[in-house]
Structure 1
């Protein structure tokens, strides 16, 4: 199986590679269009700031490529947020895969939200054999509200989308690569799609 992690200068790449290796697979890091098109699975990572990340995607043409991919694609954290219509962070236009706008947590809560939280309302084979209220690891100041494409929820003062799904596209606000056995199982489920 050919697994490609999209390389556009986003963080958390090594921890994703190690998590996939622990599952018995190798992942390659690439920004090559042909390599990404020919992958069996594509992971779109992200740690950082939305507008500068989108600038990097645009400069390499990856902003046009990602929405037309046909194989399973998993966006992680900022990767998931960039798959939405837009983000309040840097007033950034996203890839428009998920029909939601990413917004900042209100000033009434401490940001970023860092640490372990429960996921509920699991509605996808991405969560096969994952129990309701399993714990996942998050670090974020912006979130996608609940919408038609929400496939898991978490709560921080109020419910928000912990994961999104549409056709062959999936996104997790949390970091499966840092979410212990639960995250490993979610990654395995994705690789088995």
Structure 2
């Protein structure tokens, strides 16, 4: 399996992957998010990675810029969305995509990465609850999702030094992407 950065020519393939991975109900919502998020200048810099096995696309992950309000400037990103073809799930595709993304972001000087996702999955990569560090999500989350709002420190010494509300790009900051 190869992991590479996406190009403009990959857009339709990426959208079809998300349609298939998220299904008929959630897939169109994610595709709409991608259509608006990828050209959003407030989301830049963007890291968009594709996992391929020969000509077959297996997965995609997107990282976009976030800002922590009321804190000193910190290079931070959010992971959203991550998709793996149903036929390729539970084979390490998502893991390799996330690990490759975190590695590239670390090399680029990014200090923190956030995600709103399944704690059982994302803690494997070193994510931990963000709220305990004083880093709040862009919108209030129901109590049952408190542990799902997570952060990973890519540069030692940042957690505990900064706190505040995380603001995603204009598109991703919309309430409907946080409440569901």
Higher percent of residues as strand: 1
TM class, shorter-length = 0.3 to 0.5
Task: State the TM-score, normalized to the length of structure 2.
Answer: 0.36
Task: State the TM-score, normalized to the length of structure 1.
Answer: 0.34
Higher percent of residues as helix: 2
